[in-house]
Structure 1
Amino acid sequence: MSKQVPVFALIDCNSFYASCERVFRPDLARVPIVVLSNNDGCVIARSYDAKPFVKMGEPYFQIKHKLKQHGIVPFSSNYALYGDMSERVMSLIETMVPAVEVYSIDEAFADLTGISNLDALGRQIRSGVLRGTGIPVGVGIARTKTLAKLANHTAKRLQSETGGVVDICDPFKRDWVLRNTDVSQVWGIGRRMEMHLDALGIKTAMDLAKADQWMLRSKFSVVIEKTARELAGTPCLELDEPDPPKQEICCSRMFGKRLTELQPIKEAVATYMMRASEKLRAQGSVCKKIRVSIRTGMFNPEEAKFANGLVVDLPYPTDDVRLLTKAAVDAVERVYRPGFKFSKAEVMLLNLCQPGEYTDDLFAVSQPAEATRIMAVLDQINGRWGRGTLRTASVPSNPDWGMRREMMSQSFTTRLDQLWTVHCK
């Protein structure tokens, strides 16, 4: 029996952060939107109609006048909303295709091998996600993952002509896309690589697909060779398996204002540890040691500079936020120095392992079963009623040192007190 030719789809949410904001604000359906980074620093996302006026990474304080001039509405980043909407999108996609690889918060590859009428399935996925979540997506379908990326790019670039779905399994359609796509738009080709390829006369995706593959390997890398092979229609990349558990977990945030006193810094570290421990338990791991660090701002010439950190060994591998928080707060007391304006804290969970992977001696202390049960209850309550419903006493509910998010939308899908309401006249 001959092996079936693989078929991949890339489903990519359109201007995802901005689209999430529009789902619960239908009055902004035709209004350009930008989303800002932590502490309302710079632009990290733009709706399609905002892109002609605003560049990615532009500092908010420099473009306030420009946003007002063009009627562009800014939003503070609402990662709780974006993460929940992403899970909803991916869950819907998983019900419609045989296998899925979640590639990022707004992208997923799907295996469509053996499925007929691919264009109809792509449109079914697009309409299903839009109907179920309100998020518009583009769907690119091809014989390789790299070509699926290009097909998706074409679906978005030619939205009105394609309806957001492009299938380039047919060689004629594939070659048209390759000829009409700049090499800089190929997955994995960065600005520096684009310059090297341009020097060799490789300007389009078709040029790269036809380039001598052994030359690409010897001059650049096997990665570029595989990219060229994929563009030519030879699959080199498969759907990835779920990522293994992380070996380190980090939670790091800038404060909403400079802190000079020890107590608010301890509160911030306790808050970050709460989040890091949630990630730790979510992947079923335990932690053997932690690192806590604090630092001042490093770019203001008027401020004195200071940075310090400390690694702490824990009495036993644990996922108990109470033990982790006590160790972290004690470490802050040891690294803190008065007289400085601190801007950031970081907690890292190190030497992670799965329960049972580590070897104890006969008399070594281990995490009590009661602590494991308490952590399970904590996660169940917060999973049902929203993050922060139940927390350690050292974590404040509304700290004045928190990130500046003066334009943040409500957490419509993750907090009961911020559910979407409709007022009838």
Structure 2
Amino acid sequence: MAAREPVFALIDCNSFYCSCERVWRPDLLRTPIVVLSNNDGCVISRTPEAKALGVKMGAPYFQIKNDLRRWGVVAFSSNYALYGDISQRVMTVIESLVPALEVYSIDEAFADLTGIAGAEPLGREIRRRVLQCTGIPVGVGIAGTKTLAKLANHAAKRWQKQTGGVVDIRDPERRDKLLRALDVGEVWGVGRKLQAHFEGMKIKTAWDLAQTDPWMLRKKFSVVVEKTARELRGTPCLQLDDPDPPKQEICCSRMFGQRLKAIEPIREAVASYTARASEKLRAQGSLCKRLRVSVRTGMFNPEEAKYANGVLCELPYPTDDVRMLTAAALAGLDRVFREGYNYSKAEILLLDLCQRGEYTADLFATTQPEASERVMSVLDEINAKWGRGTLRPGRVTSSPEWGMRRELMSQSFTTKMDQLWRVPSR
């Protein structure tokens, strides 16, 4: 029996962060919206209406603030808790409709539709069900390879009115027509530098790249570029990925909402970052043997004195206990902190991670007590049930003054009981 041809679908949320805001603000359905990065720095998401007005991705908010107000654009601070919760709901709906799913990012996922009759009708059903259950519009691209599915999804979003948000290019004629219509820069994995190299070789469209000798591309660039060209021709080189292996390092860092001179608020920030990093550590079932704590000032203001330093902190034994990790991080902070500077950022990096049972301790070495494991288990269970931060170390404050500047943030409609959506009674 001949092997079945693989079929992939890429489901991508449209202007995801902005769409999440619109779910709870239906009055903004036709209003241009942008969402800003940490500390309200720059634009990281735009609705089509905002794009039509000329708002550029990455534009600094302080430079375009007055223009946005004049154009009637509504700006929101990033609300990652809300976006993460809605993303999980979107992926749950998709997962219920397909045999296998690879979550590629917070707003997109690859699905394996191999062997399913009526892939395009299924794509339209996915789009309808996600919109009905979550309020998030998505585009669906269907093809015989992941790279082509990515291009099909781009076409579904670019020509949404004509396609209804679903494009199937398994037919070679439709595939080649689309490849000829798209610039090579639209191909998955082709950045600006690579695009410039391609254009110097007269490779200007996705079609040109598909027709280029893959072995030459491998020698001149890399095996990744070779696989991209083969996938554009319809030869599958990429499969749905297995679950990600445990990370070997875990980092948690943030810019402060304001410059900090005193050590005490920086200690609060370091404790908070360590608590978040330890949550990630326990979530993947790992233990940490050492950590690095670092601080720095702003690096771009010529009138400010500059300073950056970090230190490695050894732990007495591999642990996931937030109390021990925090104590080590704060001791490290005391070693690198210097008076007289305006600090802008702190970072916690957990290193030398291992899974339980993967290391052999010295016969007489101290190991993590069972009591610590029980305490951490209870901590995670309570926070999983009642929300992150319900139970936390005493040094971690709930509303710190040094926190990210998010003056335009919407409510946490799905993650905080006191911020649930209220419908006014008549």
**Length-normalised TM-score, structure 1:** 0.98
Q: Is the 8 A contact 1:385 1:416 kept in 2?
A: no
Shift of 1:371: 1.1
Question: 2:353 is paired with a residue of what secondary structure?
Answer: coil
Question: 2:88 is paired with a residue of what secondary structure?
Answer: helix
The aligned residue for residue 78 of structure 2 is: 77
Report the Cα distance in structure 2 between the residues aligned to 1:229 and 1:237, rounded to whole angstroms.
10
Shift of 1:214: 2.1
* Higher mean displacement: 295-304 or 219-228: 219-228
Structure 1 consecutive aligned stretches of length 4 or more whose deviation exceeds 4 Å: none
Matches within 5 A, 1:117-266: 117-266=118-267
Alignment: residue pair count: 425
Question: 2:176 is paired with a residue of what secondary structure?
Answer: helix
The aligned residue for residue 103 of structure 2 is: 102
Q: Is the 8 A contact 1:385 1:415 kept in 2?
A: no
Shift of 1:145: 0.5
Question: 1:378 is paired with a residue of what secondary structure?
Answer: helix
Shift of 1:172: 1.5
Q: Is the 8 A contact 1:15 1:45 kept in 2?
A: yes
Report the Cα distance in structure 1 between the residues aligned to 2:356 and 2:133, rounded to whole angstroms.
38
Report the Cα distance in structure 2 between the residues aligned to 1:194 and 1:19, rounded to whole angstroms.
30
State whether structure 2 residue 413 is matched by structure 1 residue 412.
yes
Shift of 1:233: 0.6
Report the Cα distance in structure 2 between the residues aligned to 1:168 and 1:156, rounded to whole angstroms.
14
The letter of the residue matching 2:68 is L
Q: Deviations over 1:106-125 (max 9, x none)?
A: 11001000001111000011
Report the Cα distance in structure 2 between the residues aligned to 1:371 and 1:217, rounded to whole angstroms.
51
The letter of the residue matching 2:307 is F
Q: Is the 8 A contact 1:101 1:240 kept in 2?
A: yes
Report the Cα distance in structure 2 between the residues aligned to 1:308 and 1:234, rounded to whole angstroms.
49
The aligned residue for residue 301 of structure 1 is: 302
Q: Deviations over 1:77-111 (max 9, x none)?
A: 11111111111111111111011111111110010
* Higher mean displacement: 105-114 or 376-385: 376-385
The aligned residue for residue 17 of structure 1 is: 17
Q: Is the 8 A contact 1:140 1:167 kept in 2?
A: yes
Q: Deviations over 1:236-278 (max 9, x none)?
A: 1111111100000000011111111111110000011111111
Q: Deviations over 1:169-215 (max 9, x none)?
A: 11111111111111110111111211221222221111111122222
* Higher mean displacement: 368-377 or 14-23: 368-377
* Higher mean displacement: 325-334 or 244-253: 325-334
Report the Cα distance in structure 1 between the residues aligned to 2:281 and 2:233, rounded to whole angstroms.
42
Matches within 5 A, 1:232-381: 232-381=233-382
Q: Deviations over 1:375-420 (max 9, x none)?
A: 1111111112111111100011111111110001111111111111
Q: Is the 8 A contact 1:291 1:348 kept in 2?
A: yes
The aligned residue for residue 38 of structure 1 is: 38
The letter of the residue matching 1:200 is M
CA RMSD of aligned residues (A): 1.0
**Gaps (5+ residues) in structure 1?**
none
Q: Deviations over 1:40-73 (max 9, x none)?
A: 1111111121113211111111101110111111
Identity %: 69
The letter of the residue matching 1:404 is R
Report the Cα distance in structure 2 between the residues aligned to 1:85 and 1:180, rounded to whole angstroms.
34
Report the Cα distance in structure 2 between the residues aligned to 1:388 and 1:213, rounded to whole angstroms.
51
Report the Cα distance in structure 1 between the residues aligned to 2:10 and 2:172, rounded to whole angstroms.
18
Report the Cα distance in structure 2 between the residues aligned to 1:412 and 1:423, rounded to whole angstroms.
15
Report the Cα distance in structure 1 between the residues aligned to 2:274 and 2:223, rounded to whole angstroms.
40
The letter of the residue matching 1:411 is S
Report the Cα distance in structure 2 between the residues aligned to 1:396 and 1:293, rounded to whole angstroms.
20
Q: Deviations over 1:22-45 (max 9, x none)?
A: 111111111111111111111111
Report the Cα distance in structure 1 between the residues aligned to 2:361 and 2:302, rounded to whole angstroms.
50
The aligned residue for residue 26 of structure 1 is: 26
Question: 2:11 is paired with a residue of what secondary structure?
Answer: strand
Report the Cα distance in structure 1 between the residues aligned to 2:399 and 2:194, rounded to whole angstroms.
46
**Length-normalised TM-score, structure 2:** 0.98
